[in-house]
Structure 1
Amino acid sequence: MAGGRLSWAGLLKWSLSYVDGAGPSGAVSEEERRWLAEAVERHMMVDVVSRMREIALLMSTPPAVLEAQGITHDDIEDLLSELQVHVESIDMANDLHSVGGLVPVIKYLRNSNARIRAKAADVVTTVVQNNPTSQQLVMEASGFEPLLSNFRSDPDLTARIKALGALSSLIRNNKPGVSAFRLANGYTGLRDALNSESARFQRKALSLTHYLLSESHSDCSVFAQLGFPHLMMRLASSDDSGVREAALGGLLELARDTTLGNRSLLAEHDRLRRLLRGRMESIRTMTPEDLDAAREERQLVDSLWITCYHEPSMLRNEGLLVLPGEESFEQPPDVAGRFFEPMRRAAARRAPPVEGSDPGDGTGGGIVLLLGLAPDGRSNSPSH
């Protein structure tokens, strides 16, 4: 089967090279060239679906039968790697269930071999990423439960990290997935990940925490009660720049939540003030190259300081927030506002409408601006 795919790909390359003039010249029109390319692409697509069906059949075979046929764990891992390449196309990802491959992949999340569990999580990540259809299919096929279990308690760290990556892709922009994660007490799993010694695990956990905080301010109190502010303050001094930035981003989301007093809680915490001052002192001593690399961190430190203490940060005062040659993070100038300002001033000076006129019918003293499109897409301009 693989040989068939290669021969068709070679045929396409050979044919196009002749059309491009690398071989003998022929009277091949652009339409014929396009037809050939489309024909090869259609055949290769059918070939991929057939190959996915073959892999699904192999993965559905009982382990004892595979072992009797000489199929090793390495072979299974290779099959999963090949399958991951195929499902990078969103169409192929959505076809995985119909060809019988999704359920076997989910079953491999419980395999006794840690590398196979990790690789199966990789496949799920690719299948569900930015793909609501496959997110729903994985949830319906009970893929959430083994991912959560592996994330929280797999003895192999790599398998835990891969499971967290798959969970993160599964529940993003997926309300049922977020609800399932919340009900299953997944937040304590995130807290455990932040307490780990793995910077990679910490980054992934912080990324998902930041997403959950930004999506639902009602969760801010839960994260605060679970001790996330203290953990993120500790990680904001990490030697890993990605961990530092993610931790600062999480703290900023908590500080922006005014409904439950998180901003006051953080602002009154001496540890946060010392942390931010320490980060600013570190930034002041950076080389130009390090300053450039720490652009996002500079912005986060400044935003967090202003949000909590309502005053410019040391970075802003010393010109370290935006370096020469960098674009400003400030709001762009209000060009449209300046354009319409004379009209606004004229309207403010205008006398009240005469008695008996309706201020809202456009016939009194008001100016009616009929610009742009109405909500239904039709022009608001008067007909002529």
Structure 2
Amino acid sequence: MSGFDGPKWDGLLKWSLSHADGTGSARQLSEEDRRWFMEAMQAQTVDVVKRMKEITTIMQTPQEVLEAQGVTVEDLEGILEELQEHVEAIDMANDLHSIGGLVPLLGYLRNPHASVRARAAEVVTTVVQNNPKSQNLVMDAKGLELLLSNFISDPDMTVRTKALGAISSLIRHNKPAIVAFRLANGYAALRDALTTEDARFQRKALHTVQYLLQENPEDCNVAIELGFPRLFMHLVASEDADVRQAALQNLYEITRGGKAEDAGFTDKEGNLKQVLEARITDIQQMTSDDLGAAKEERQMVDSLWQACYSEPSSLRANGLLVLPGEDAPPPDVASQYFEPPLRAWAAPQHETRGSEATNKQEGPVLLLAAGAATPSANSEDYRTDREGNSGGDEVVRDGNSRSS
């Protein structure tokens, strides 16, 4: 259904090679060759806006008409996948509304086929990601309500997860959408998501809650009232490492919001201390490989312990907080493969004051003096930091940066 099977460059390459042996000077193309070349190039060029209009026409066509014409569910998934590729460019994402394609796309969130509903939510995610204009357009078109319906009550777990992903992108850096989400009992829906057994769904929900608490620390009160701390503590024992990490991060957000005491975290006989002690025991029993992979979890457990009990955890005393080599800079793997630039070799070497004084005392400088210093190139240390996952990402699309 895409109408575009990808570029076929073989013929063009053969034509180019047959007309140049690499030794002669460039020659003028004949009119026939020029016409053939232009036709070959135009045949491989896709008019994206035109193609998006064609996809819009398909989405506007009633389901029964499409089925009567032999259009399958796989075909619909294919056109949505193609549309998602087109709207990766922020200009194309904004043009989707202009050509009348946004409302039909949102309508596909109600398609009778779960795979189509899930794919439509993925396209919406791409359209609104770090894109305030399209975020507003989706809100105006009641897109949040449709996504919330799928997130809360769709019978298919994949559809629910994809809808939550689209909601997370829609509300990011979008205060009106956050307010609308809260008023629609979004926190209660997130709480229910955490009670499922689907790790991927849990991760999405945890990252969304973390972002909301970071943006609105006063929402920690809402989280406490709805029983989120108990759910977070339960998920700290999850078999999924990413779920454990996200649950710990959310517990830490509540302490950062100044609500540790309200949540009962500071009680040395409380549930949180028992949960953290259990995690410390598990960490102590990890293999060296597992310990390396659990670096952030180790640090988060210690940070929570210090925030709640004003003392370092036993991980620090047992040497498990920072393993040997973790605080060292990454190894220099570049300098051995790259020679210093010639300009660096040719640059004059600066002498120390001591050597200058010695030269003045010893008289004229000898040419080709023995033991002359050899210039060397020193590599710089690289420092990296890792951004926490709340669902938020820096995206560069076709030269346009969407800051998160």
TM-score tier, shorter chain, comes to: 0.7 to 0.9
Please state whether the residue corresponding to 1:267 is helix, strand or coil.
Answer: coil
* Structure 1 residue 246 displacement after superposition: 0.3
Deviations 1:172-217 (A, max 9, x none): 1111111110010100100000000111111100000000011101
Letter in 2 for 1:79: I
Q: Distance in 1 between matches of 2:88 and 2:42?
A: 17
- In 2, are the aligned partners of 1:254 and 1:263 still within 8 Å (CA)? no
Moved more, 237-246 or 111-120: 111-120
* Structure 1 residue 72 displacement after superposition: 2.2
- In 2, are the aligned partners of 1:108 and 1:117 still within 8 Å (CA)? yes
Equivalent in the alignment of 2:127: 127
Equivalent in the alignment of 2:282: 282
* Structure 1 residue 263 displacement after superposition: 6.1
- In 2, are the aligned partners of 1:5 and 1:47 still within 8 Å (CA)? no
Equivalent in the alignment of 1:76: 76
Per residue, is there more helix in 1 or in 2? 1
* Structure 1 residue 15 displacement after superposition: 6.0
Q: Distance in 2 between matches of 1:4 and 1:319?
A: 58
Counterparts of residues 341-380 of structure 1 (less than 5 Å): none
* Structure 1 residue 74 displacement after superposition: 2.2
* Structure 1 residue 288 displacement after superposition: 0.9
Equivalent in the alignment of 1:148: 148
Please state whether the residue corresponding to 1:109 is helix, strand or coil.
Answer: helix
| Change in 2 beyond 3 A, CA 1:2/1:272 | closer
| Aligned residues: CA RMSD | 2.9
TM-score normalized by the length of structure 1: 0.75
Q: Which runs of no fewer than 5 residues in structure 2 stay unpaired?
A: 28-39, 330-404
| Change in 2 beyond 3 A, CA 1:263/1:52 | same
Q: Distance in 2 between matches of 1:204 and 1:45?
A: 38
- In 1, are the aligned partners of 2:260 and 2:308 still within 8 Å (CA)? no
Counterparts of residues 1-384 of structure 1 (less than 5 Å): 6=6, 9-10=7-8, 14=12, 24-25=21-22, 47-258=47-258, 260=259, 262=261, 265-268=264-267, 270-327=270-327
Moved more, 92-101 or 186-195: 92-101
Equivalent in the alignment of 1:367: none
Q: Distance in 2 between matches of 1:128 and 1:180?
A: 16
Identity among equivalent pairs (%): 56
Equivalent in the alignment of 1:351: none
TM-score normalized by the length of structure 2: 0.72
Deviations 1:48-102 (A, max 9, x none): 2211111011111122221221222222122111111222222222222122221
Say how many residue pairs are matched: 316
Equivalent in the alignment of 1:370: none
Q: Distance in 1 between matches of 2:273 and 2:79?
A: 52
Q: Distance in 1 between matches of 2:209 and 2:49?
A: 37
Equivalent in the alignment of 2:346: none
Q: Distance in 1 between matches of 2:165 and 2:25?
A: 52
Q: Distance in 1 between matches of 2:2 and 2:80?
A: 15
Letter in 1 for 2:306: I
- In 2, are the aligned partners of 1:151 and 1:164 still within 8 Å (CA)? yes
Please state whether the residue corresponding to 1:266 is helix, strand or coil.
Answer: coil
Q: Which runs of no fewer than 5 residues in structure 1 stay unpaired?
A: 30-39, 330-384
Q: Distance in 1 between matches of 2:143 and 2:55?
A: 19
- In 1, are the aligned partners of 2:109 and 2:118 still within 8 Å (CA)? yes
Moved more, 70-79 or 219-228: 70-79
Higher relative contact order (CA 8 A, sep 6+): 2
- In 1, are the aligned partners of 2:114 and 2:159 still within 8 Å (CA)? yes
